[in-house]
Amino acid sequence: MSSQDVQRPVCIIGLGLIGGSLLRDLVASKHAVYGYNHSTSGARSAIKAGYDVTDDLQAILTRAEADNALIVIATPMKAVASVLDEIQQHAPSCGITDVVSVKTEVRDLFLERGMESRYVGGHPMAGTQNSGWDHSQTKLFKRAAWAITYDYAAECEARGERIPKKWIETFSDVVRMTQMVHAEAVPVRVANHDAAVARISHLPHVFAETLAVVGDNGGILAQSLAAGSFKDGTRVAGTTPELVRQMCETNAPALVDALDEALQLLQDARDSLAAEQPSVAELAENGFRARTRIEARSGARKESVSPVKISSRPVLRLHPGGPNWVAQLRQSESLGGRIEIF
């Protein structure tokens, strides 16, 4: 174990697409990691493939407590509350993170139980329209942003309180874990996270569903003529409705705001297309400019002379617990930057 590795075993609760892929990556880098899956068939598949996996939640939490493991909650949102209750009982001192796609609702569950000092939220911006252990894979997180929340530290600081060393260790280990799977750690507070993902993840899902329905209403001829723009635009409508509902319904206030913005733009475009001189100039020009900016800023790019892709997210190296480190997190957040720790 190098100083860049998570400094303790990792215990993953829930082995779907995200939890399963995390397990595979950590095993591939020879880190101590074990997992639990609720579905016995999923657990059996994972065991058969040689992974250290069980369908006994109490047993795995008892083991995590004995190991001082970092617990990763990778269940659907609706299971988080009951998992937290089990953790309180069987793993009362482990640090905890999660990978759920909304952060306010998860944090509220920790606050209700007085568990916030054990919690560092997480959300890897990776995935496909598929779900479940069978679709999990190595390298899913490569170069993906992995949002890491730090509200607890910011609130301690605002109250003039010292941030507990244990929380700082959990935060550091979550960052290290994301680096072990080649993701990029992006610090963000839960409200800002939820507002951002409403725009760039939940609204795209609502749009894809809508486009699929309108296309389908056109009947078999329309579908026969459908090509790239329609297929790309509806891809994530292939996500199971259950997952879409959990993402969107648990982030409803932020998503309603994003939808209201979108509805206004669409209504304006509709009205100017219905005018005597039909026009979609404003939307087409603003959309093109927006897309151009986004392409220039986001994701990995190649340097002109090197074949190595580098991240376009600005990087900030910081020492958790060091002077001014929470201010550094805020600065990085405002830039959508990634952090590395030393």
Of 117 and 311, CB closest to a copy of itself = 311
**With respect to a copy of itself, which residue has the nearer C-beta, 59 or 281?**
281
Q: Is residue 128 close enough to count as binding a copy of itself by CB under 8 A?
A: yes
Residue closer to a copy of itself (CB basis): 93 or 312: 312
Q: Which of 213, 300, 310, 327 binds a copy of itself (CB under 8 A)?
A: 213
Q: How buried is residue 125: exposed, middle or buried, by Cβ count under 10 Å (0-12/13-18/19+)?
A: middle
Q: For the CB of residue 202, give the shortest distance to a copy of itself in the complex, in Å.
A: 9
Q: How far is CA 288 from the centre of its chain?
A: 27
DSSP state of 300: E
Cβ atoms of 288 and 278 within 8 Å: the answer is no
The tokens 């929470």 sit on which residue?
326
Closer residue to a copy of itself (CB): 32 or 262:
262
Of these, 56, 85, 112, 232, which contacts a copy of itself (CB under 8 A)? 232
CB 17 within 8 A of CB 78: no
Nearer to a copy of itself, 66 or 225 (CB): 225
Residue 263 gets the label, from left (phi > 0), alpha (psi -120 to 50) or beta, of alpha
- Residue 337 CB, nearest distance to a copy of itself (Å)? 7
- Mark 154-183 with x for binding to a copy of itself (rule: CB under 8 A) and - for no binding: ------------------------------
Q: How far is CA 189 from CA 20, 66, 75, 336, in A?
A: 26, 31, 21, 12
Axis-axis angle for helices 165-180, 151-158 (nearest 10):
150
Could you tell me the smallest distance in angstroms from the CB atom of residue 254 to a copy of itself? Answer: 10
Distance CA 18, CA 34 (A): 14
Which span (11-19, 43-51, 168-176, 241-249) binds a copy of itself, by CB under 8 A?
Answer: 241-249
- Residue 240 engages a copy of itself in binding (rule: CB under 8 A): yes
- Report how far residue 127's alpha carbon sits from residue 105's, in angstroms, rounded to the nearest whole number: 21
- Return the residues of window 248-307 that contact a copy of itself according to CB under 8 A: 248-249, 252, 255-256, 258-263, 265-267, 269-270, 273-274, 278-281, 283-295, 297-299
- The CB density around residue 324, as the number of other CB atoms within 10 Å, is 10
Q: Does 20 bind a copy of itself (CB under 8 A)?
A: no
Closest CA to 190 of 122, 259, 94: 122
Which residue, 297 or 302, has its beta carbon nearer to a copy of itself? 297
Nearest by Cα to 141 from 21, 33, 6, 236: 21
Question: Does residue number 137 form part of the binding site for a copy of itself (CB under 8 A)?
Answer: no
User: What six digits make up the tokens of 92?
Assistant: 């009362």
Residues in region 67-96 near a copy of itself by CB under 8 A: none
Question: CB–CB of 95/71 below 8 Å?
Answer: yes
Supply φ then ψ for residue 80, to 5 degrees. Answer: -65, -45
Site residue total, a copy of itself (CB under 8 A): 102
Site for a copy of itself in 308-327 (CB under 8 A): 313
Of 35-43, 79-87, 102-110, 142-150, which part binds a copy of itself (CB under 8 A)? 142-150
Nearer to a copy of itself, 153 or 255 (CB): 255
Q: What's the alpha-carbon Rg for the chain, to the nearest Å?
A: 22
Q: How far is the CB of 56 from a copy of itself (least distance, A)?
A: 33
Between residue 28 and residue 57, which ones bind a copy of itself under the rule CB under 8 A? none
Q: Which residue has 């635009």 as its token pair?
A: 233
Which residue, 63 or 338, is less far from a copy of itself as judged by CB?
338
